[in-house]
Amino acid sequence: MNDRERIGKRIAEIRKSKGLSQAKLAELTDIAPGNIARIETGRYSTGIDLLSKIADALGYKLDFIEK
């Protein structure tokens, strides 16, 4: 699993744990629902600005953590 897939999977896990649909996350972030789906499956390479919007909508912040 590459980093894009790993991050997308984590976004999906967090979204589901908060009871949000992809459509609701799209609404909260102003990102097209299809792009949310592609991000979650690792088929869309997104920049830091979009990741930051998603993190904020999920109550997280972007940060570097030690492996």
Residues of the chain with pLDDT > 90, as a percent, come to: 88
Task: With a cut of 90, say whether residue 61 has pLDDT above it.
Answer: yes
Q: What is the pLDDT of residues 26-47, one digit of tens each?
A: 999 999 999 999 999 999 989 9
Closest to 8 (Cα-Cα) out of 44, 34, 47, 32: 44
Could you give the residue ranges of the DSSP H alpha helices within the chain? 3-17, 22-29, 33-40, 48-57
For the chain, domains (ranges, CATH) are 3-57 (1.10.260.40)
Residue whose structure tokens are 């972007």:
62
Task: With a cut of 90, say whether residue 67 has pLDDT above it.
Answer: no
Q: What is the pLDDT of residues 47-58, one digit of tens each?
A: 999 999 999 999
Q: What is the mean pLDDT of the chain?
A: 95
Residue whose structure tokens are 């909508």:
57
